[in-house]
Amino acid sequence: MSFSPLIRHLIDALRGLPGVGPKTAQRMALHLLERDRDVARHLAGALATAMDGVGYCSQCRTLSENDICAICADPRRDPSLLCVLQSPADVWAVEQAGGYGGKYFVLKGQLSPIDGMGPEEIGIPALLAAVERNGVAEVILATNPTVEGEATAHYIASMLKPRGIKVSRIAHGVPLGGELEYIDGGTLAHALAGRTPIV
């Protein structure tokens, strides 16, 4: 059985969400149409409102309803400390973990020449300008521990070190509470290479 054009359009739209395959999209579409039309209308309204009302912070480039996000506007934040991340989701992850009191800069991606993502596309010139403008003393590189994330971190470090900026990288390795026998070899090798002395 083939679906009508409107139902097919809804299924295709839902498939655009991350982690949603054809069967899940079909199940979601049929559920919304059969059982939860009020929820579907509320969802459609919330999506339209968010698309119109949410933009990017002019300073850190995270998602924000205002020109300057609440984190950048907070006077208690240390402007000399800047954490560089790949996406707004990463900002929220660091904030939920707690313990970080500096500012952020969101790259909106990672270097990937194959995908056409160079320094300009992910915002490295804007990062360098923000570092200069705000008198940043240390930049913490918190890109993902992938080949592209590591390449992005190394590229940024090579641009900042000649400017006299302290550059650090977040630690990678064995998770708290993890057992060594269940850790993959790459993660364990990275943890051993990045070991720190016990004080």
How high is the pLDDT of residue 1?
61
181 pLDDT higher than 80: no
CATH topology of domain 63-169: Dna Topoisomerase Vi A Subunit; Chain: A, domain 2 (3.40.1360)
Q: Model confidence over 130-144: pLDDT tens digits?
A: 999 999 999 999 998
The HSE-up count of residue 29 (CA atoms within 13 Å, CB side) is: 22
How high is the pLDDT of residue 198?
67
Mean pLDDT of the region 83-108 = 93
Q: Of the candidates 129, 144, 172, 138, which has an alpha carbon nearest to the alpha carbon of residue 157?
A: 138
Q: Model confidence over 93-105: pLDDT tens digits?
A: 999 988 899 999 9
187 pLDDT higher than 80: no
pLDDT above 70 coverage of the chain, percent: 97
Mean pLDDT of the region 105-126 = 92
Answer CATH for 5-53 from 3.40.640.10, 1.10.510.10, 2.40.50.100, 1.10.8.420? 1.10.8.420
The token pair that represents 115 in the structure block: 């995908």
Mean pLDDT of the region 101-118 = 92
Q: In Å, how far are 152, 162, 175 from 145, measured between CA atoms?
A: 10, 24, 14
**Domain assignments of the chain as residue spans, ordered by start:** 5-53, 63-169
- The burial class, CB within 10 Å (0-12 / 13-18 / 19+), for 153 is buried
Please say whether the beta carbons of 105 and 127 come within 8 A.
Answer: yes
Q: Model confidence over 3-36: pLDDT tens digits?
A: 899 999 999 999 999 999 999 999 999 999 998 8
Question: What b/e string do you get for 3-40 counting C-beta neighbours within 10 Å, with b at 16 or more?
Answer: eeeeeeebbeebeeeeeeeeeebbebbeebeeeeeeeb
pLDDT above 90 coverage of the chain, percent: 72
Q: How far apart are CA 130 and CA 115, in angstroms?
A: 26
Q: Does the fold of domain 63-169 match that of domain 5-53? A: no
How high is the pLDDT of residue 145?
85
